[in-house]
Amino acid sequence: NTDVSHPKTTPSTYIVHMAKSQMPASFEHHTHWYDSSLKSVSDSAEMLYTYTSAIHGFSTRLTPEQAASLSSQPGVLSVLPELKYELH
Amino acid sequence: TTRTPEFLGLGQTTETMPQSDSAGDVIIGVLDTGVWPESKSFDDTGFGPVPSSWNGTCESGTNFNSSNCNRKLIGARYFAKGYEATLGPIEESKESKSPRDDDGHGTHTATTAAGSFVPGASLLGYAPGTARGMAPRARIAAYKVCWVGGCFSSDILAAMDKAIDDNVNVLSMSLGGGNSDYFRDSVAMGAFSAMEKGILISCSAGNAGPSAYSLSNSAPWITTVGAGTLDRDFPAFVSLGNGKNFSGVSLYRDNSNSMPSALTPFIYAGNASNATSGNLCMMGTLSPQQVKGKIVMCDRGVNARVQKGAVVKAAGGLGMVLANTAANGEELVADAHLLPATSVGQRNSDVIKSYLFSDPNPTATILFEGTKVGVQPSPVVAAFSSRGPNSITADILKPDIVAPGVNILAGWSGAVGPTGLAIDARRVAFNIISGTSMSCPHVSGLAALLKGAHPEWSPAAIRSALMTTAYTAYKNGQKLQDVATGKPSTPFDHGAGHVDPISALNPGLVYDLTVDDYLNFLCALNYSASEISTLAKRSYTCDEKKRYSVRDLNYPSFAVNFEGRTTSTNVAKYTRTVTNVGPAGTYKATVTSDNPSVKITVEPNTLSFGQVNEKKAYTVTFSASGSAPVNANSFGRLEWSDGKHVVGSPIAMSWN
């Protein structure tokens, strides 16, 4: 299927929650660990934001397949799709 | 805002409020559409240096640079990476890629919370007075997270992340996104971390009322704010050719005398269109031949109210009568229409329609009466204000409180007219709009006032003070009304009641909460270790031997859920701990309930306090005998009083 809009191949934004306490000692900084986790499922994906105070984790663009794969990585607590909020 | 300070007992000036030096050290972070820094509401005259605790900055971007901040507007940031990743690059010719507010909403909420005094404020002459925020000495930091295409959770989280690091004291968030478990809701997750840092988070309850279960932002570490009316109105009457007059509201300013004083041909939009939904006055649906030179009656719904007026105007209409339908009932929301127009309630609109359909040559005119204050009863709960029960955690009563949210005047963006329509070339310094977006920053500002007066109080203590001193009856003793029903409102509509800031400054007792209390609450919800870790950013192990209960969360209200289909006695026990924040005294408990079949006992029913910060626990037992219809609700109230302070808690009882 070459349809580029096929949902399985279309990237969307996810918020990845990480268990910072589970960071392997081999990483000096949590952002390196986040990046390594991300690169394990996608060579090209980049972090939009890294979060340190509101949550532990980052946001990035992934395909649903990549998101599912990332959610099974060690230290990954959840991979949640971006939601749109509205003004009240 | 004009009027709301007086309506809330704050008076025209700060002299009526204690203004400690720390009042100027309180920082309110507003997550919204950005800020219009040239608004006079951000005048920093008389402000001291920026608080030393402040870590934030004033970011540059389109039409915005660091010099736009001052000692009042101390920070401004924008977050668009998530938005751009989904919708593509921001079109900088259409919206500023910077903290600048091209929409108006963010300037309105920020100035409502903490705007400086601006004499001579009005919208086109309506709602005149001195405008000010609820905490005029507090500082403001704007975090732009909402853009033309919406507000994305990745950007909202990034803004909350920065606001926490920047050291804001209050976070005001007039936005929401449906209803999901707390560990899936970005606002709830970010708010948990903010709460841990001592930041009070005030969020709008939503505008999905009057339907039940329509709340958003219902996490117990968030202060959830519903909306009520003021004692102010903007009457604009419809006068029909048959001599009858009908009341409505409008913010239209007739500078060009375009509204003929004589009776004008009048037509129902549904009869001036070939479209199936012609009655709604959607774009391109009205027939100019049938509309030209006439006043048109349009039904409310689907498209924006002000856009209906623009559609009528574009088709050659001279005026518009906007008719509420069953969805809105008698709630009237005033708008600064582009043509002479007024909004009427459902009952009036039904009578007007019967005239339109029966008279062969119907005529009408609209008479604008300006601003009227002293309207009673007020406040009434707005029909649009989202309602409980809480669909995520039924045992936590939400909303927490209501505050002014209907026809609120506050600062506005210079980039857009008062209707927000692209064709509206008018520019105003202040605008009048409605929503729980408007009530939320009222509470944010009042929370900042309390923080300034009591810097040592936790976010839970501040919320408790606001809730337990809120009122649920008018001065004549009648209960607060719900405009959606015309009947007394319930705790599912108004929470603890309408905010009363002067009483909140001196609440007597508070229901305090710590981070551990909230973690135990998550255990009571049977959250998994992973879910707790996602939400609370830590490994927290619930004790398998401990019996956790949501009922034990030290919340200043009670949501009691009974099993409906049972003949045995339902018993629900709640433990609470109150902390004395006033003088020594003895408090006695009084319980009122509208359901005599539920026995409510408080043990002990007397609490004596000898010193400040002394804590005392009590238990409330609710015993419901026999069965009750499923989905039945009853309501009550628990009050502790030492004769000077009244510490009230709403009670909502449901049979499920």
Q: Which residues pair with B298 in a beta bridge?
A: B322
B436: region left, alpha or beta (phi > 0 left; psi from -120 to 50 alpha): alpha
Evaluate if residue A59 carries a pLDDT over 60. yes
Evaluate if residue B12 carries a pLDDT over 80. no
* Chain A contact present for B30, CB below 8 A: no
How far off is chain A from B570, nearest CA to CA, in Å?
38
CA separation (Å) from B546 to A76, B179, B305, B518, B531?
28, 29, 54, 15, 19
What pLDDT, on a 0 to 100 scale, did the predictor assign at position B21? 63
Q: Which two tokens stand for residue B153?
A: 């959770």
Contact B539, A21 (CB under 8 A): yes
Q: Does residue B32 have an active-site annotation? A: yes
Evaluate if residue B404 carries a pLDDT over 80. yes
Q: In whole angstroms, what is the distance from residue A74 CA to residue B540 CA?
A: 18
Evaluate if residue A2 carries a pLDDT over 70. no
CB contact under 8 A, A51 and B161: yes
What's phi and psi for B654, nearest 5 deg? -130, 145
Contact B227, B406 (CB under 8 A): yes
What pLDDT, on a 0 to 100 scale, did the predictor assign at position A7? 60
Kindly indicate the confidence band of residue B44, based on its pLDDT and cuts at 50, 70 and 90: very high
* Chain A contact present for B32, CB below 8 A: yes
Residue that has been written with the tokens 């031949």 in this structure: B289
Tell me which residue in A48, A84, A85 faces B85 most closely, judged by beta carbons: A48
Tell me which residue in B150, B158, B184 faces A86 most closely, judged by beta carbons: B150
Q: In whole angstroms, what is the distance from residue B320 CA to residue B125 CA?
A: 21
Nearest one of B480, B409, B400, B479 to B438, comparing CA atoms: B409
HSE-CB of B371 using CA atoms within 13 angstroms: 18
Kindly indicate the confidence band of residue B257, based on its pLDDT and cuts at 50, 70 and 90: low
Q: In whole angstroms, what is the distance from residue A20 CA to residue A54 CA?
A: 13
Reported as type and span, the H/E element at residue B290 is: helix B288-291
| Predicted-assembly ipTM surpassing the 0.90 threshold | yes
pLDDT in tens, B419-464: 999 999 999 999 999 999 999 999 999 999 999 999 999 999 999 9
What pLDDT, on a 0 to 100 scale, did the predictor assign at position B16? 46
Kindly indicate the confidence band of residue A3, based on its pLDDT and cuts at 50, 70 and 90: very low
What pLDDT, on a 0 to 100 scale, did the predictor assign at position B15? 45
* Chain B contact present for A4, CB below 8 A: no
How far off is chain B from A41, nearest CA to CA, in Å?
19
Tell me which residue in B151, B183, B193 faces A53 most closely, judged by beta carbons: B193
pLDDT in tens, B180-212: 999 999 999 999 999 999 999 999 999 999 999
* Chain A contact present for B563, CB below 8 A: no
pLDDT in tens, B244-256: 999 999 999 977 6
* Chain A contact present for B152, CB below 8 A: yes
Mean pLDDT for B486-512 is 98
pLDDT in tens, B293-307: 999 999 999 999 999
Evaluate if residue B569 carries a pLDDT over 90. no
Amino acid occupying residue B443: V
B60-74: b (≥16 Cβ within 10 Å) or e:
ebeebeeebbbbbbb
Evaluate if residue A1 carries a pLDDT over 50. no
Proportion of chain B above pLDDT 70, given as a percent: 97
* Chain B contact present for A80, CB below 8 A: yes
Reported as type and span, the H/E element at residue B448 is: helix B436-453
Contact B438, B112 (CB under 8 A): yes
Evaluate if residue B564 carries a pLDDT over 90. no
B contact residues 105-134, partner A, Cβ 8 Å cutoff: 105
CB contact under 8 A, B176 and A86: yes
| CB-defined contacts A:B, below 8 A | 127
